[in-house]
Amino acid sequence: MDFLKSFVNIGNGLVWETPEEFPWLVAALLGVGVLFAIRLGVIQFRRLGHAIKVVTGKYDDPNDPGDINHFQALSTALSATVGIGNIAGVAVAIHWGGPGAVFWMWVTAALGMGVKYAECTLSTHYRSYDEEGNVSGGPMYYIERGLGEKWKPLAVFFAVCAIFGSFGGGNMNQANTVADSMFTAFGVNTALMGGLMAVIVATVVLGGVKQIGKVTSTLAPSMAIVYVLGALTILLLNVSDVPGAFATIVREAFNPTAGVSGVVTGGFMTTLVWGVKRGLFSNEAGQGSAPIAHAAAKTDEPVREGAVAMLEPMIDTLIICTMTALVIVVTGVWDKKVETQLDLSIVKTAVVEGASVPDDGIIPVVDGKQEILYFIEEDARVDEPRVLTADGKPLSGSLKFDKEAGHVTEILSAGAPVAAVLTGQALRNGAPLTQEAFRVGMLPLGDWGNYVVVICVVLFGISTMISWSYYGDRCTEYLFGVRYVKLYRLIFCGFIFLGSILTLKLVWAYGDLALGLMTLPNLIALALLSPKVVELTKDYFGRMDELEGKDK
């Protein structure tokens, strides 16, 4: 585990760079977004009406080549994008980068609409058909076919990174957040929840893309409606605070407050990087994942599917993520510490200045309190730590401190291990932060708002894992052939269990690394193939404008 942590940390340093240095991948993402905004004349806003017409079925033809219709392709891609990033990802961005990080999520989304249009247009144009007529597409195909055989190593690199990405951002991040939310809300064992999720996902993904399309076309709209209605309810209850929340987000984007959220932020680059990272994780524009789903759409017009795809960042980040952010800011929970049960295996421990740990590592606890250690969670100090019995009463006993490991290993009573917990006032992060925001926001209607988030987390997480399994199995088929796809799916389900029991910080760091690695080759290909995107765009909309003109 220590090796994995070191590998992930070093990898993230190379891919994303530290906030104090130049974040080259952030610059590349924003740069490609600006490139397509200029070359396509800000198509994400000019052709938004056409995109809506396509997704509502105006141009659907069951005889067109492909596996699923436009709406199912959008639903499959949205199931992978509208998910944990909208609930936990926004909270993580605000925790580490402050409210200003949300502004940079907006920028990433606005530019990402054009990038998503370009990559999904290319994916549909260069897609491949097998002997049975099944479709495969994605960056690996438009890199190899669009740029030529000499670029195949880059296509292979993308496919390998996408498989690892499916295990991280598309799998373990989701499983970890679902398990964390269920534990926080109901005390459900994380390992048990991981096993249950693995079984549920396996029953769907083993049925292939058509089964995935059927499930996601129902699940994605339903879960989005539930979540949006919950967020809107809170914003209406706090409508007078909404303008101030927007002002806070914009102000903190360019002049972030030092020490915001209780952690070491306050640097402009920190806020920028966390906003772009979480924006990428949420809407996946430029990452190369969504093109794999859109390549399966029934259409003989690649640009048409690209137009559908550019709706995703708008729905995902500009609408749903914004609602999450506003709820967190208007309820004021983003920088407030709350009573939290601490995980002894991961919480950091330090010795109070002037105190010392006894040689035997046994630290006395009287009425739930001790005076030798203080605890740090998510780089912020825990206030008022207390040791409580299983029924919530202060414990008198002791803590067993492992000096070599640097943390508490057991809670003792009369010298024997006892079922007790360590609690304290701590900042929340990830889905539990959003849960707390919904709970506080809905208090005028009753103390149940956090359960809305729990339900949505479960549905979002499972739907995202289902969609990402398809991304991974397309890359597996590209690299190794169709006979290895079932093996990949089984391994994928195993990672669901693994993600549910690992720590939040490690899982999200691995997800960032994997998604960053698969983004790089895709951005290179998009920049080089931008002339082809322009050519396809001019041809299609030239014909559509002429046709619609005649219809008038």
| pLDDT given for residue 4 in this prediction | 65
Residues 391 and 468 in one domain: no
- Which domain, by its residues, includes 414? 338-426
Give the CA radius of gyration of the chain: 24
Q: Do 397 and 411 touch, CB atoms closer than 8 A? A: yes
| pLDDT given for residue 263 in this prediction | 43
Nearest partner of 346 among 503, 173, 176, judged by Cα: 503
Q: Is the pLDDT of residue 98 over 60?
A: yes
Residues 359 and 448 in one domain: no
Residues 311 and 234 in one domain: yes
| 3-class DSSP state of 210 | helix
Residues 502 and 416 in one domain: no
Residue 102 belongs to domain with CATH number: 1.20.1740.10
Nearest partner of 309 among 170, 464, 114, judged by Cα: 114
Q: Is the pLDDT of residue 21 over 70?
A: no
Q: Do 180 and 436 touch, CB atoms closer than 8 A? A: no
Q: Do 308 and 51 touch, CB atoms closer than 8 A? A: yes
Q: Is the pLDDT of residue 58 over 80?
A: no
Q: Do 79 and 463 touch, CB atoms closer than 8 A? A: yes
Going by pLDDT thresholds of 50, 70 and 90, the confidence category of residue 451 is: confident
Q: Is residue 44 part of a domain?
A: no
Going by pLDDT thresholds of 50, 70 and 90, the confidence category of residue 196 is: very high
| pLDDT given for residue 144 in this prediction | 95
Please give the share of the chain, as a percent, with pLDDT higher than 70.
84
| pLDDT given for residue 261 in this prediction | 47
Cα 263 to Cα 218: distance, rounded to the nearest angstrom: 40
Query: Average of pLDDT values for 411-423?
Result: 88
Across 139-153, 164-178, 218-232, 520-534, least confident range:
218-232
Q: Is residue 4 part of a domain?
A: no
**Among the three residues 426, 459, 483, which one is the final residue of a domain in this structure?**
426
Average pLDDT, the chain: 83
Which residues are bridge partners to 416 per DSSP? 413
Cα 264 to Cα 18: distance, rounded to the nearest angstrom: 13
Q: Is residue 279 part of a domain?
A: yes
Q: Is residue 468 part of a domain?
A: yes
Residues 202 and 323 in one domain: yes
| pLDDT given for residue 113 in this prediction | 93
Laid out side by side, the sheet with 383-389 consists of 338-342, 420-426, 383-389
The amino acid occupying position 310 is: M
Q: Is residue 526 part of a domain?
A: yes
Q: Is the pLDDT of residue 552 over 60?
A: no
Angle between helices 504-528 and 24-39 (to 10 degrees): 40
| pLDDT given for residue 17 in this prediction | 60
Q: Is 494 exposed, middle or buried (0-12, 13-18, 19+ CB in 10 A)?
A: middle
**Residue 450 contacts by C-beta under 8 Å, 6 or more apart in sequence?**
185, 435, 436, 438, 439
Number of domains in the chain: 2
* 455-501 per-position pLDDT tens digit: 888 888 888 888 788 889 889 999 998 889 889 999 999 999 988 88
Residues 210 and 224 in one domain: yes
Residues 223 and 247 in one domain: yes
| pLDDT given for residue 480 in this prediction | 92
Q: Is the pLDDT of residue 429 over 70?
A: yes
Going by pLDDT thresholds of 50, 70 and 90, the confidence category of residue 193 is: very high
**Residue 446 contacts by C-beta under 8 Å, 6 or more apart in sequence?**
none
Higher pLDDT, 81 or 538: 538
DSSP string covering 74-86:
HHHHHHHHSSHII
Place of tokens 């920190």: 270
Going by pLDDT thresholds of 50, 70 and 90, the confidence category of residue 431 is: confident
Angle between helices 322-330 and 242-254 (to 10 degrees): 100
Cα 114 to Cα 287: distance, rounded to the nearest angstrom: 13
| pLDDT given for residue 338 in this prediction | 83
Q: Is residue 194 part of a domain?
A: yes
Residues 299 and 239 in one domain: yes
pTM over 0.85: no
Q: Is residue 286 part of a domain?
A: yes
Higher pLDDT, 237 or 390: 237
Cα 378 to Cα 383: distance, rounded to the nearest angstrom: 13
**Among the three residues 426, 461, 484, which one is the final residue of a domain in this structure?**
426
Q: Is the pLDDT of residue 526 over 90?
A: yes
| pLDDT given for residue 131 in this prediction | 66
Q: Is the pLDDT of residue 80 over 80?
A: no
Higher pLDDT, 17 or 187: 187
**Among the three residues 398, 426, 454, which one is the final residue of a domain in this structure?**
426
Cα 239 to Cα 506: distance, rounded to the nearest angstrom: 37
Cα 304 to Cα 50: distance, rounded to the nearest angstrom: 9
Longest dimension (CA), the chain: 89
Cα 177 to Cα 87: distance, rounded to the nearest angstrom: 9
Compute φ and ψ for 229, nearest 5 degrees. -65, -40
| 3-class DSSP state of 148 | coil
Q: Is residue 543 part of a domain?
A: no
Cα 260 to Cα 278: distance, rounded to the nearest angstrom: 18
Nearest partner of 462 among 196, 189, 229, 277, judged by Cα: 196
Q: Is the pLDDT of residue 209 over 60?
A: no
| pLDDT given for residue 232 in this prediction | 94
Place of tokens 């609930």: 87
The amino acid occupying position 45 is: F
H or E stretch including 11? helix 2-16
DSSP letter, residue 188:
-
* 368-407 per-position pLDDT tens digit: 999 888 888 766 788 899 999 888 899 999 999 888 777 8
Residues 297 and 422 in one domain: no
Residues 324 and 358 in one domain: no
* 276-315 per-position pLDDT tens digit: 877 876 787 888 988 988 888 888 889 998 998 888 888 8
Indicate the Cα dihedral angle 93, 95, 96, 99, nearest 10°: 60
Residues 308 and 358 in one domain: no
Length of the chain: 552
Q: Residue 353: how many CB atoms within 10 A of its CB?
A: 6
Query: Average of pLDDT values for 418-443?
Result: 87
Residues 343 and 323 in one domain: no
| pLDDT given for residue 473 in this prediction | 87
